[in-house]
Structure 1
Amino acid sequence: MKPLLAIDNLRTILRTGAQPVRAVDGLTLEIQRGETFALLGESGCGKSMTALSIMRLLPDGGDIVQGSIRLNGDELLTLPEAAMRAVRGGRIGMIFQEPMLSLNPVMTVGEQIEEVLARHFTIGHAAAQARILELLAQVGIPDPARRKTEYPFQFSGGMKQRVMIAMALAGQPELLIADEPTTALDVTIQAQVLDLMRDLQRQMDMAILLITHDLGVVAEMAHRIAVMYAGEAIETASREHFFKHPAHPYSQKLFAALPTRHKRNQGLSVISGNVPPLSEIFVGCRFADRCDRAWAKCRQVAPPWTAVAPGHRVRCHLYATGEAQQPAINAFPQHSAAEVGQPLQPAEATPLLKVDDLRVHFPIHKGLFKRVAGQVKAVDGLTLDIAYGKTLALVGESGCGKTTVGKAILQLIPATAGSICLDGVELSGLHRRQLLKKRAQFQIIFQDPYSSLNPRMRIAEIIEEGMQALNHNLMETSKAGKNRTGQDIDALLQQVGLPVEAKWRYPHEFSGGQRQRIAIARALAVNPQLLICDEPTSALDVSVQAQILNLLKTLQQDRGLAYLFITHNISVVDYLADEMAVMYLGRIIERGYVTEVLDDPKHPYTQALLSAVPAIESKDSRAVIRLEGELPSPANAPAGCHFHPRCPHVMPICREVYPGVSQFGSTHMTHCHLYNSAF
């Protein structure tokens, strides 16, 4: 069968420094019409540069020096730029990773889609407006007649991604390139976007090139897979064969690094080192320095392609030489209750953190005199507690108030009402100097370490700044005090797995995972008892995520730290947390030990949230619940149960009265009328 897209020996270089960067180095692949082909690998492997090469949208200094890219038999690399413009957005559509950076902030959504239509079709204004409404409705945007006149900032993350899909589909493409289309989205919105892409693919018989590092998304979407490493493909296979029998040591390590429940009492497998710089000239296997099965030949001779099964090829000397192969990993392991452990017993001691009826409301000002016209109830009556040395995971969709809870606990934003008690001390009523003395006991790790680290300060200065501000024992100006501070910084860097000499470097000189380690070291510098972790692994590759999770678990064991772990990654919750609280529109709607909530979710929202998580398992083994609509505005919360507009089990009482607590044992509770009345 003739492929829709055929790439042969593609080589793309970037001339941005003293040595050229071989971003794509000899890539060959084929994509059939109507199939989803996943390109999998760590950041820096060349996945996004492959997509930009196909579109011929390389950055300054980028050049395709060798190879062929054929779309339905037409060579794209020889097309003049004028002809290529008809291909971009026409025959090939692309969804970029960050929709907010890809949409024009000063043009309405309708105007941006109309630009695409005007570029690729001869169409009148009335017909264009009708087509815009059709596209917006096709991607599931409600009230398209009104929303096409709105600007990107008026849309949520999931809706912006739908707008990007509508723009990509406007030219009726044969091939859709999706570059990390769901990385920053909640699991419920991610499920909607993936469903949408599948439905549109079936309707249009469209091929999809899916670029991602999320194995769960690959398992849900892909027909065939190629694993990229250091600019080249190292394994290709069908989805079924890849997930049952990953062959390359790198692929096997990616699976071993995934956090799962059966690994709770052990560290995650970590891929040592980093992806090598693509400016170096490779001689042998590019993975050799990070492979625990490498021998001399691996560093001297580049491995050839070897077929390990029909349609499954791998670039590895283990298979080319007939050496004893590493046992295949079962991607769908089954484990007994004894293996995964039972729920911990309730803590007897007084909790380290106790939050009672916390409310954080922000006033809405309108009119010339900025009168208060309403309230955004970001947090609306939240109660939780965390025991010493334990981890509570706070999960929920974006906009539900998770980060606001963390900032209110830290006293970075004032609480409207409620109590926040840390180690027996009420924080809300403390004066500034009193609060300063307590700040060393609780610290935060932000989601984006690059934005939270001062780019003009060296790492030693970043860590020392907090130590001097919050830890009076280190505020010594003597030479002995300075030496001790330096020793403490060295010890901290070693504790988080960084070399001592790293303290003289700047944040931009580190990878994403290393910057997160620096952020953790800065938080630990003042010996806190509580760490608030706000999505600390959401933007990290699987292998780097494993390093950070191992570090957090080790630090908890060594220092007795307690964590409030804010996340939407359920697999991380399953691996790391002791307890779990599900948040919806400013309130906790279900709470219990992790095994209780994940194995027997009670609230319909929790059930939908868990079912929407992409899973590396047989799709026939679980029912998927798709939520309709989006999270309501906290400025205008629905009456009664806040979830009732989206609930598949809604009853008349749900629209009138907020449900009370329903208890299932001593530790598992929910707020739902299903358990308060007959159903």
Structure 2
Amino acid sequence: MTPLLDIKNLRTMLHTGLEPVRAVDGLELSISKGETFALLGESGCGKSMSALSIMRLLPEAAEIVDGQIKIDGCDLLQLPEAEMRKVRGKRISMIFQEPMLSLNPVMTIAAQIEEVLNQHFDLHAGLAQERIKAILQQVGISDAARRMNEYPFQFSGGMKQRVMIAMALAGNPELLIADEPTTALDVTIQAQVLDLMRDLQQRTHMAILLITHDLGVVAEMAHRVAVMYAGEIIETAPRDHFFQQPAHPYSQKLFAALPTRHKRNQGLAVISGQVPPLSQEFHGCRFADRCPHAWALCRHTIPEWIEIAPNHRVRCHLFDQQAPSLRSASAAEMPGNLPADSKKVMADQESELLKITDLKIFFPIQKGLLKHTVGHVKAVDGVSLTIAPGKTLALVGESGCGKTTVGKAICQLIPITAGSVLLNGTELIGLARSQLRKKRAEFQIIFQDPYSSLNPKMRVTDIIEEGINALNPGSDKSSSKQTSQSTSTENQVDTLLQRVGLPIEAKWRYPHEFSGGQRQRIAIARALAVNPKLLICDEPTSALDVSVQAQILNLLRTLQQNLGLAYLFITHNISVVEYLADEVAVMYLGRIVEKGHVDEVLNTPKHPYTQALLASVPTIESTSKRVSTHLSGELPSPANTPSGCYFHPRCPHVMPICRETYPEKSTFSTTHSAHCYLYPQDKDSSQTNTN
């Protein structure tokens, strides 16, 4: 059967330095009509550049130097730009990774979709408006007639991604390129978007090129899989066969790096080193320097394609040499127990390091010239939590539910409306600035984006020393003492860098000279510089590849074992929760709806929201398509919370009482509880709005 998209020997170069960067180096792939083809790989391997090459939307510094890109036999590289404009949006469309950066902020949604229709169809204004409304309804945007005239900032992240899909589908494309379409979305919205793409594919029989690094999404969506590394594809296979028997050492490492509940007492496998610079000319296997199985042949001979099963091909000398199966790797190569030193700190399960009681954070809504308060945004509405020394509490929920606000409130970075925050028995709320400064060394926060939280004008040593000097009130002003302290501080910096797995010489470099994972290590080193007892980790791995994520999770767990640190781990990644957390609290619209031990909450979820959250998580454990019911609608505004149970507008089990009053706590064990009328209510609950 003739493929819809057929790419042969595609080579794309970037001329951004002294040497050209071979961003795409000999790419070959084909996609049939109605097929979903997944392209996997780490950041920097050339996935997005391959998509931009297909669309001929390359930056000025890039050029395609060789190859063919055929759509139904027509070579796109031979078309003049005027003809290529007729292809984009009509025959091939693309969903970009970040919808907020791809949508025009000063144009309404209708005007942006209308641009596509005007380019490819001859429709008068009335028909165009009807078509736009129909497309938006098709992608699940309710009240399309009104919302089509709104602007991108008036839509949530999930809705903006739906608008991007609507724009891509406006021309009825034969091929849809989806570049990380769900990376920035919560699991509930991600599930809706993936189901939408799959349903549209079944109705229109379009092909999809899915670019992602999420193996769970690949397992759910793909028919065929290709793994890309350093500008070229190194393995391709049908989805089921790939997940049952990944062949290339790089593919196996990606699977081994995934966090799961079965690996809780093990270190995750990591891929040493980094993707090699693509400015060099390769004379052997590109993965050789990071491969535990590499030998001399791998370094000076480029591996050819070898078919190891029907339609399953791999570039690897191990199969060429009839080597034993990679699946029988020695124990030395497999992840083992986490390293721990003789100073390992045992957690005191009876004590409470952090105790939050009925925490409320309301932001006033002000209007008019005199800024009258007309309402409040209830960002956090009565949250109660405890964390023991050396333990990890995971706080999960959709974006906008108040997770990060709780973390900032603990650090006293935002004003608190009501409640109590006790750290080692000391009330943090209301402390004088001088008293709070002394306590700050006991708790630190690691932000989601290390690049934004590190000063780009400061070297690493200055970034780390800043915290040490700021929270060291006993520093001596005399010159002799200052010299001694300077030497001591420098030694501290060296020790911290080694502790987080960075070389000592890295202290003289600036943040932009490091990879994303390395920058996150620097942020962790800065937080550890003042010997805290509690670390608040706000989505510290959400922007990282699975291999880099494994390194950070290994580091966090080892630090916890050796230093007795407690973590409040804010995330929406359930697999990370399974691997790292001791307890879980599920947050919805400013309130905790369920909490308990990690096994209790994940194995026997009680609250309908928790059940929907877990049902939405794509998994690689079964390659069969997930069938689940998803949440209807979106998270309500915290400025206008529903009456009664906040979840009742989206709950499949809603009852009349749910609309009237907020449910009291239902207790299932000494550690497991939820707020839901489906279960008997505790009679001794004194406040109906306390978590």
**2:498 matches 1:497:** no
Q: Determine if the alignment matches structure 1 residue 311 to structure 2 residue 311.
A: yes
RMSD: 1.5
Q: C-alpha distance in 1, partners of 2:600/2:476?
A: 46
Deviates more, 1:546-555 or 1:497-506: 497-506
Are 1:392 and 2:393 matched, yes or no? yes
- Cα 1:347–1:599 change in 2 (3 A) is farther
CA contact (8 A) 2:446 2:535 kept: yes
- Please state if 1:547 is matched with 2:551: yes
Match of 2:517 in 1: 513
**For structure 1, which segment, 102-111 or 469-478, has the greater mean C-alpha deviation from structure 2 after superposition?**
469-478
Residue 121 (structure 1) aligns with: 121
In the alignment, what sits opposite 2:371? 370
Q: CA deviation at 1:349?
A: 2.8
The number of equivalent residue pairs is 663
- State the partner residue of 1:149: 149
Q: Is the aligned partner of 1:673 residue 2:677? A: yes
- 1:348 Cα offset (Å): 4.8
- Aligned equivalents of 1:115 and 1:428: distance in 2? 53
Match of 1:74 in 2: 74
1:283 deviation in Å? Answer: 0.6
Distance in 1 (CA, whole Å) between partners of 2:379 and 2:240 is: 43
- 1:368 deviation in Å? 2.1
Instruction: Please list the CA deviations of residues 40-98 of structure 1 after superposition, one character each: whole Å capped at 9, or x if unmatched.
Output: 00001000000000001111210000100001111000100111111111111100000
C-alpha displacement of 1:570 = 0.3
Q: How does 1:278-427 map to 2 (within 5 A)?
A: 278-327=278-327, 348-427=349-428
Which segment drifts farther, 621-630 or 439-448? 621-630
SS in 2 for 1:43: coil
Aligned counterparts of 1:597 and 1:431: Cα–Cα separation in 2: 39
For 2:444 and 2:82, locate their aligned partners in 1 and report how far apart those are by CA, in whole Å. Answer: 55
Corresponding residue SS for 2:78: coil
Q: Offset at 1:467?
A: 1.1
1: CA distance, partners of 2:258 / 2:52: 29
Separation in 1, partners of 2:85, 2:576: 43
1:454-603 equivalence runs, <5 A: 454-473=455-474, 478-603=482-607
User: Quick one: which amino acid aligns to residue 494 of structure 2?
Assistant: D
> What CA distance in whole angstroms lies between the structure 1 residues aligned with 2:625 and 2:369?
58
CA contact (8 A) 1:391 1:565 kept: yes
| 1:120-171 C-alpha deviation (Å, 9 max, x unpaired) | 1111111111111001101001111111111111111000000000000011
Measure the CA separation in 2 of the matches of 1:446 and 1:155. 25
Provide the rounded CA distance (Å) in 2 between the counterparts of 1:631 and 1:347.
Answer: 37
- What is the aligned partner in structure 2 of residue 139 from structure 1? 139
Q: Are the aligned partners of 1:361 and 1:377 in contact in 2 as well (CA < 8 Å)?
A: yes
The 1:443–1:45 alpha-carbon spacing in structure 2 relative to 1, beyond 3 Å, is same
> Secondary structure, in 3 states, of the residue corresponding to 1:381?
strand
SS in 2 for 1:438: helix
**Counterpart selection for 1:646 from 640, 645, 650:** 650
C-alpha distance in structure 1 between counterparts of 2:63 and 2:488, whole Å? 51
Which residue in the other structure is 1:335 paired with? none
Q: What CA deviation, in whole Å up to 9, does each residue of 1:509-540 have, x standing for no partner?
A: 11100000010011111111000000000010
- Asked whether the 8 Å contact 2:616–2:630 carries over to 1, the reply is yes
The reply on whether 1:627 has 2:631 as its aligned counterpart is: yes
> Given that residues 270 and 550 in structure 2 are in contact (C-alpha distance below 8 angstroms), is that contact kept between their aligned partners in structure 1?
yes
The CA distance in 1 between the partners of 2:613 and 2:474, in whole Å, is 46
> Given the alignment of the two structures, is residue 447 of structure 1 paired with residue 451 of structure 2, yes or no?
no
- Provide, for residues 639-667 of structure 1, a one-character-per-residue CA deviation record: whole Å limited to 9, x for no partner: 01100110001111111111100000100
1:23-34 equivalence runs, <5 A: 23-34=23-34
1:6 aligns with 2:6: yes
Distance 1:365 1:202 in 2: 48
Amino acid at match of 1:239: R
The letter of the residue matching 1:676 is P
Question: What amino acid is aligned across from residue 316 of structure 1 in structure 2?
Answer: C
Alpha-carbon deviations, 1:470-528, whole Å to 9, x = none? 12356766211111111110111111011111111111111100000010011111111
Match of 1:663 in 2: 667
CA separation in 1, counterparts of 2:625 and 2:533?
41
Is the Cα–Cα contact under 8 Å of residues 347 and 388 in structure 2 kept in the other structure? no
Q: Hey, what's the Cα distance between the residues in 1 that align with 2:408 and 2:111?
A: 38
| TM-score (normalizing by structure 1) | 0.96
Query: Partners in 2 of 1:622 and 1:500 — Cα distance?
Result: 47
The 3 A distance-change label for structure 1 pair 352 and 143 is: same
Matched, 1:614 2:615: no
Q: Is the 8 A contact 1:246 1:328 kept in 2?
A: no
Query: 1:673 is paired with a residue of what secondary structure?
Result: coil
Q: What is the CA–CA distance in structure 1 between the aligned matches of 2:544 and 2:198, rounded to whole Å?
A: 26
- Structure 2 Cα separation of the partners of residues 148 and 468 of structure 1: 54
1:617 is displaced (CA, Å) by 2.3
Closer, same or farther: CA 387–621 of 1 in aligned 2, 3 Å: farther
How far, CA to CA, are the matches of 1:238 and 1:214 in structure 2? 17
- Deviation, 1:619, is 5.5
Q: Report the equivalent of 1:432.
A: 433
**Which moved further from structure 2: 620-629 or 596-605?**
620-629
AA of the residue aligned to 1:28? E
Q: The residue matched to 1:675 in structure 2 has which SS?
A: coil
Structure 1, 587-596 or 457-466: larger mean CA deviation: 457-466
Q: Label 1:483 to 1:346 Cα distance change in 2 as closer, same or farther (>3 A).
A: closer
**CA shift for structure 1 position 373:** 0.6
2: CA distance, partners of 1:7 / 1:178: 17
Provide the C-alpha distance between the structure 2 equivalents of 1:37 and 1:475, rounded to a whole number of angstroms: 64
Percent identity between matched residues is 73
Residue 444 of structure 1 aligns to a residue in which SS? strand
Aligned residue number for residue 247 of structure 2: 247
Local SS of the residue matching 1:398? coil
Kept in 2, the 8 Å contact 1:607–1:625? The answer is: no
Partner SS state of residue 550, structure 2: helix
Equivalence map 1:71-110=2 (5 Å): 71-110=71-110
CA offset at residue 116 of structure 1? 1.1
Partner of 2:686: none
Distance 1:515 1:580, change over 3 A: same
Give the distance between the partners of 2:491 and 2:653, measured in 1 at CA.
60
SS of corresponding position for 1:77: helix
TM-score by length of 2: 0.94
Question: Offset at 1:449?
Answer: 0.4
Distance 1:422 1:131 in 2: 58
Q: Could you tell me how far apart the structure 2 residues matched to 1:441 and 1:159 are?
A: 40
| Residue number in structure 2 paired with 1:43 | 43
- What is the match of residue 332 of structure 2? none
Contact 1:247-1:328 at 8 Å conserved across structures: no
- CA deviations on 1:543-566 (whole Å, 9 max, x unpaired) are 000000000000001111000000
Paired position in structure 1 for 2:339: none
The letter of the residue matching 1:631 is L
Shift >6 Å, 4+ stretches = none
Counterpart residue type for residue 279 of structure 2 = S
Question: How far is 1:599 from its partner?
Answer: 0.4
Secondary structure of the structure 2 residue equivalent to 1:281: coil
Q: Which runs of 5+ in 1 are unaligned?
A: 330-344
For residue 355 of structure 2, give the secondary structure of its aligned residue in structure 1.
strand
One-letter code of the match for 1:658? Y
Q: Which residue of 2 aligns with 1:333?
A: none
For residues 621 and 53 of structure 1, the distance between their equivalents in structure 2, rounded to whole angstroms, comes to: 31
Runs of at least 5 residues in structure 2 that lack an aligned partner in the other structure? 330-345, 682-691
Partners of 1:369 and 1:116 lie apart in 2 by 44
Distance 1:24 1:235, change over 3 A: same
